[in-house]
Amino acid sequence: MSTLADAEVDRLWLGGDPAALGELHRRYHRRLEGVAYRVLGDASDAEDVVQRIFLALPNAAYRGTATLWTYLYRAALNGAVNVLRARRRREALQERELRRALAAAATEGTGDPEARVLEGEILGAVAKALLQVKPQHRRALVLRIVWDLSNTQIAEREGVPLATVGTWLRRGREELRAALGPVLGDFSGETR
């Protein structure tokens, strides 16, 4: 089947040949992953998008009005955009949760008004600095610090290997430290 032209394989698949699906996957999956990767910037997310496309393909609405490559390309693009939108919604929700948690922490504490103001300023600076941390690193930090999850729990929740969580936490701390550097200087009375 590998010697057939794309159009012939498309026709075989439309005709119900089960071997054609494997050939389509062999021919197109790398290219489709590239399409999804350009949108998402994450190889594992791109692989997931393409896997979902091929799992859904037997029940797809494709009827042969365009080339199958065009249909699959569009499916990869749309799937990647949907993953990106979901990622952004999740990040926005996490940001809101972080702000709520920081605001709640700011209202707790001592009855000393000056201490509360200083604590509020510090928490505000931390929240602002956290927004400068890469989104996946920020998620890992928030899950660790605010929700007190272990690396294993974070890995399961995010669907990534345990080593990735460790890397995200380390890099997140470095990014947070860099973002807080000027602010910490302000609070300690140092001049820039």
Scan for tokens 């590998």, then name that residue.
2
What is the per-residue pLDDT across 9-51, written as a single tens digit (0 to 9) for each? Answer: 878 878 778 788 888 888 899 999 999 999 998 898 999 999 9
B/e letters for 178-191, b = 16+ CB within 10 Å, e = fewer, are: ebbeebeeeeeeee
pLDDT digits (tens, 9 = 90+) for 80-94: 999 989 888 887 777
Class for the domain spanning 109-188: mainly alpha
pLDDT above 70: residue 110: no
Buried b (16+ CB within 10 A) or exposed e, 122-142: bbebbbebbeebeebbbbbbb
- What's the confidence (pLDDT) of residue 2? 64
CATH architecture group of domain 6-85: Orthogonal Bundle (1.10)
**Does the pLDDT of residue 134 top 60, yes or no?**
yes
> What is this structure's pTM?
0.53
Residue ranges of the domains in the chain? 6-85, 109-188
pLDDT on residue 192: 41
Interatomic CA distance for residues 123 and 38, integer angstroms:
36
